[in-house]
Structures are given as structure tokens and as C-alpha cells.
Chain A
Amino acid sequence: MANNQNKKILLVEDEFFITELYLRALRKKGFQIDNTANGLEAVKLAKTDQYDIIILDLMIPGMNGIDVLNDLKNNYNLKAKIIIATNLEERKEVKESIEKKADGYIIKANLTPTELAEFIENIK
């Protein structure tokens, strides 16, 4: 838990209820968190390279999650690990990008917020 306080997380999610649940569960674990619902805003924040982990939803306004992932991985050498959070695991183009670029991948429907927080906690 004490370790978590040194970890900074960016949560990119446009669904208000999910944001509320994830923020609560992650804060309970002691993480410092920023959040945004917009893809362009996400890239702007991520570029500052202050985050250890970025939790990235795919269907977001401004710039979709796959483009955000590609932009951040192709153009910036960030220390942050990017974890994709989605329910769209079947789509071929999604799979390909995730496999190539992302550092991790979760299916939102398979994890409760507490389980997600535990998953994030276990990322080394």
C-alpha cells in the first residue's frame, strides 16, 4: 500500500460510472490518480511522462484508444506502462494493436473494481 502512494496513474475512461468505481477502488489502494474522458487530453497528459501506469479505454471521444496507444508508443518514449481496459476483445484490429503495443490488457466485464485495483497493484 505504501508503495502504491509513489505510483501515479492516469485513468482514461469516458463512462462516468466506471470512472467513479475505478477511482474509488484505486484510491483505496493508495494510488495517486488523474483522470480524463478524452483521447486528445489523454495524450497531452501522458506526454508529461509523470505516470507509471495508464489505464486506457478504447471507445473514447476526441481520439480513439487505439490511436492514443499508437501515438504514445510510436512517438514518445514514456516510462508508463499502458494497460488497455475494454470489452471489445474480439475485434481483429483491436487485438493486433494490443498485442503489438500495449503492456497489458484487461476485460472490464471480467473484473470488479477491487479486482482491477489488485491487478494494477501487481504490475511491476
Chain B
Amino acid sequence: MEEIKSIKRRKIVFLVIVVFIIESLSFLTYRYFLSHNLLHTNELIYLLLIILLNLIILSFVINSVIQSTLEPLKFIWQAIVHFSPQNDLESPDINKLKTGKSFMTNLNQQLITLVDKPIQNNHTKDKLNFIFNNLPLPTLIINDQNKIIFSNQLFAKYINKNLSDILNQSLDDLTDMIFSDQENLENWINKIRQKRITDFKIFSRIKMNIQNNLPEKQFDLAVYFNNQNNYQIELILMIIDRTREYQQDDQAVSYVALSIHELRTPLTLLRGYIEIMKEELVSYDNLELKDFLVKMDATAQQLTAFVNNVLNVSRIDNDQLKLNIHPEDWALTLTEAIKSLQIRALVRGIVINLKIDPNLPLVAIDKISTIEVLSNLIDNAIKYSNNSKVINVKSFLNQAGIVETIVEDFGVGINANILEHIFTKYYRDHHNRSQIGGTGLGLYLCRSIVQAQSGSIWVNSKVNQGTDIHFTVLTVNQFKAKNPDFNSNQDFTSTAHGWIKNHSLYRS
């Protein structure tokens, strides 16, 4: 939006300058003609010149007016080109183009207004069909019974079905949408039904397998919600296909993951030999050598963490990240994890203070993955600590009765306007990107793991004061309540996109 505003500002300044130059030229020409007594002989030329100049001004003005009027239509045009048989254009980004977003909201409202009689009426059906089938985006209307009451041809084509097979079906029966976030369409609707009359939301990076033999599709979903109309309409859904774009991202990670996999064996060996050297050096007096070895160990650990991050993100993208949820003692897990992570902080002169409230209940987590979450949060805290030499880790039962853990640093902090993006894949703060290294994968991974364990993660931060990242893990009972299939005595496997029951991979 800022970008559009600044383009408009630039245009106005440009126009004012052009008008000023042209009018000055006109004035100077006039003076020239006057001073050389040419006006009476060359009046016609002068007049033509003035007309020409004013035509130029007019064309600029008209161009500018057309540009700003047509901006909302640009979105539709992009959509049309995108869905036409041979398109070379990326799909329109409704998040970036505010006009696109408001266009969709308006369109949805118009659709509801247009239906001036109950939807069973044939005339109304025809009218809606006409509008829908001329829309450039796959679109659906769903009623409050969760049944599809309208679909355009494009949607039918998108999911490779006949239009007649879609109507009166529920979306769940027709498609298998995998949401990238814990918040999916179903729980969003359940949440807003209680408190909103209308709402609008865009879900990003949804994956959908149409049929086994067809390639997977990836898209954004714009959803308009309205539960106060007489026409049974509750949801209007529009699909903005982004398969090509998102697949490129995923393939990039997959390729890197493939290469990085080869680092695992040498790294395992390196850590193995470091372990032996540490054991053997215990009786030696050379403190400097011991210090070097500790630093070597910390560096090898950091490299292992990085390799694991890339591999895990690749697994999330391919829906292969599996978490094996077991009941665990949280205080013990946290103490063990921090003990092994402490070395990375200590080599940089940073102390980690750990404070765990006594008597925390047993939690339901995948221990290895949760330690990876802590490892990422601690690594970030170290990286962004600047001159501060303390990191606090606190864990307690919060007011909602959930086990909450905070990793707090007193370093550079995060700008308020980017806070909401920091859990997004590849996102890096451009202010410090050139000074502090990173891949933009760590917090994305943390969020995926925490959410797959039915917990949540959030951040508070002030620039130059520090950052505290909070995350929750559920107690065994809370986890059972959310996931009735969970049985403490059996393996329960979760993926970043869903749950698999009684999946046994890590037996011992």
C-alpha cells in the first residue's frame, strides 16, 4: 500500500513540474514574440504551439486519471490472464494490492445484494450463475449447512470434477485442503460465527491433492463470511492459484536439503571425535586447548542445528515431518536441553538463567523436536543479544492452566511493524539482514512444531530493549482432550499438517 501511495505522490509531483515547465515555456515564447514584434505575423504558429502544449498537459492529466481509475481493474485483468489457457503472468497478489482485497469484499457484498429473492428461485440462480461463470477466479458459495450451493465452471475445472458433482456436496468431501497453519477454514468459521456478522480472511499456502495422478495444487484462499442474510449464504470462497510460485520455493528447499543431507555423516563423525577428545582432555592442564575444544563443540552443534533446520523445513514442505508425541517431564526436558545449549551461549560470554516453577504436570510432546524449538529460540536470543550477556528462560503454569515457556533476551529487539511476519518462512528483518546471518527458517520451523503439538507461539519485543518469545505445550490431559485418539502408552504421531494415529517409527 505504501508503495502505491508513493507512486501516486511521485506522479502528482511530476505533473506539477511538467505543468510548470510548459506554462513557463508558453510565457517565455509569448514574451519572445512580443519583444521581437512577431506576434502579429506569427499569431497562428503561437496559437498552435499553445494548443499543442495544452494538449500534452491534458494527455498527462487524462493518463493519470485513467491510471488511478483502472487500478482496481488491474487485479481482475491479472486474474483473467492468469487463468486463460496460455498465461505467462503470475497470479494476482491480493495481499499486496489493497484494491484487489477491497474489490473482492465489494464483489461478495454485491453478490449477496443481487440475490434479492430466496436462492431456490430460478431467476436468481441464473443471475448468479451468469455472474459467477464470468468471474476469472474459481469461486464457491457455501450455505450455513456446510453445503456448496453455487460453484462456477472454473472451480469445477480446478478440482477436475463436473459441476453437477459439486453442488450440494460439502467442501470436505470434495477436496482435501491442507492448511499451512493450525488455523484452518473450519476452526476460523467456528470462531467467527460466535462474534462476527461479516468477516474477510485470506489463507495462504494451501495445498490440495486433486487426484493421485495429477500434480498437487497450491493456492491462497480468499474467504468472505456473512451470516446475516436471508439467502442461506454463509461463505464465499475464491481460489487464487499460486502453484508455480510456491512450488519453486519448495523445490529450492528440497534441493538444498538433498545437498545438506550429505553433511550429516561428516558432522556425526566430527561430533563423535570431539566427544572423545573432551573425555581424553579431562586430565590435561592445557586450559587454552580445552577452551578451543569447547568452542569447536559449540560450533559443530550449531552446524548440526542448521542442518536439522533445513531438513525439517523440507520435511514440512513435503508433509513428512513426523512428531512422536509422548508424555514427558517438562522440567527435566527443559533442564537437559538448556544444559546442552548452554555451551553455545557460554562461548560467547552469555549466561542462560533457567527458572522452572515446581510441580509442572506431565506434558505431551515430541522431545527431539521440542528441543529443536528451544535450540532455535536460544540461538536467536544469542544472535540478537548484541552487548547483553543474559538470556532468561522461564517456565510456569499460566492463567489458562497451560505450561508456558519464555525465552527472553535483552538485545536489539524487533520492529513492531515486522513482528507479525517473523514466523513466516524465509522472512528476515531487512534492518539487520546485512549484519546478522540466518536463513529465515528457524522461527517458521518453531511455529510448525509447536502448533503440531497443539500449542501456540507468540512474541513481544521492543527495539533496543529485547525480545521475549513465548510458547506453550499441552499437559497430557489437555492433549487428550484435543486429540481423543491419543493414548499415553502408545506412539502418537503428528505431522505439521495433521495427525496420524498409532504410527510407530521410533521403537526401542
Contacts and interface: CB of A to CB of B under 8 A. Distances in A.
B508 interface: yes
Main SS class of interface, A:
helix
Interface string B93-124: 00000000000000000000000000000000
Interface string B290-310: 000000000000001001100
B505 A109 contact: no
Contacts of A105: 505-507
Quick one: which of B269, B275, B304, B508 has the most chain A CB within 10 A? B508
Contacts of A110: 368
A109 B267 contact: yes
Contacts of B308: 109
Interface in A67-102: 87, 89-90, 95, 98-99, 102
Interface in B299-333: 304, 307-308, 315, 320
A3 interface: no
B504 interface: yes
B273 interface: yes
A114 interface: yes
Contacts, number: 54
Given A21-B273, A95-B505, A108 B320 contact: no
Contacts of B272: 17-18, 21, 25, 112-113
A117 to B, nearest CB: 11
Contacts of B304: 109
Contact of B275 (A90, A102, A109, A114): A114
B265 A87 contact: yes
Nearest to A120: B508
A39 to B, nearest CB: 19
Contacts of A15: 265
Contacts of B315: 90
A27 interface: no
Nearest to A115: B275
Q: In the A-B complex, list the 8 residue pairs whose CB atoms are closest, starting with the nearest.
A: A21-B272, A109-B264, A113-B272, A17-B269, A104-B508, A87-B264, A109-B268, A112-B275
B261 A24 contact: no
B265 A18 contact: yes
A90 B267 CA distance: 19
A24 B308 CA distance: 26
Interface string B268-298: 1101110110000000000000000000000
B126 to A, nearest CB: 50
Interface of A: 15, 17-18, 21, 24-25, 87, 89-90, 95, 98-99, 102-105, 108-110, 112-114, 119, 122-123
A95 B307 CA distance: 21
Q: How large is the interface on B (under 10, 10 to 19, 20 to 34, 35 or more residues)?
A: 20 to 34
A25 B267 CA distance: 17
16 contacts: A17-B272, A18-B265, A25-B272, A89-B505, A95-B505, A99-B504, A102-B507, A105-B506, A105-B507, A108-B265, A109-B267, A110-B368, A112-B272, A112-B275, A113-B272, A123-B508
Contacts of B273: 17, 21
A102 B504 CA distance: 11
B255 to A, nearest CB: 14
Contacts of A99: 504-505
B276 to A, nearest CB: 7
A104 B508 CA distance: 5
Contacts of B267: 109
A103 B507 contact: yes
Interface in B154-179: none
Nearest to A116: B272
Contacts of A90: 315, 320
Given A109-B304, A123-B508, 11 more contacts: A18-B265, A18-B272, A21-B272, A24-B276, A87-B264, A89-B505, A98-B505, A108-B268, A109-B265, A110-B368, A114-B275
A104 B269 contact: no
Contacts of A21: 269, 272-273, 276
Contacts of A18: 265, 268-269, 272
A49 B452 CA distance: 43
Contacts of A104: 507-508
